Amino acid sequence: MTATALLTELKQHGVILHPKGDRLAFGPTEKVTPELRDKIVRHKVDLLRLLQPDPTLAEAYRRYWSLPESESMEVFQAAYREIIRLEAQADPQTAWRTLREAAAAWHTETGVCPFCRELGELHLPAQEMERELSR
């Protein structure tokens, strides 16, 4: 069984994993059977690798979001091309998870939605993207 297949199985059982450094937190505990717990332990390293955002990609998002609106179009395009290149190197689920986590962190730090650049709510099309990735 691959770590990706295990994540799918855990999701079907309603189990959520959260990386905490080199440890995995999971729950709700009442949904974790001994069999699932054994699988989590066996695949811990691979699960951590899948669940932790790619710092290089996260940094590329932050650089792009940090560009002032007065910056030249060439600079925006170069930063965007770098994001596309890094996303292509990651699997789609990792790229999407990195985007979600980087956007949430950016929003928490600045109060600004990185997508619309306005103060207030984070406008992340999470449900639509989740549906696309689950196909």
3-class state of residue 135 by DSSP: coil
d(CA 107, CA 2): 33
pLDDT of the residue at 66: 92
Domain 3-51: which topology?
A: Arc Repressor Mutant, subunit A (1.10.10)
pLDDT of the residue at 33: 92
State yes or no: cis peptide before 28, omega within 30 of 0: yes
The secondary structure of 27-60, three-state, reads ECHHHCCHHHHHHHHHCHHHHHHHHCCCHHHHHH
In the chain, what are the domain boundaries?
3-51, 55-134
d(CA 67, CA 74): 12
Residue ranges of the chain with per-residue pLDDT less than 70: 53, 125-135
Model pLDDT for residues 64-90, shown as the tens digit of each residue:
999 998 988 999 999 999 999 999 988
pLDDT of the residue at 134: 60
pLDDT of the residue at 130: 57
pLDDT of the residue at 83: 94
pLDDT of the residue at 128: 54
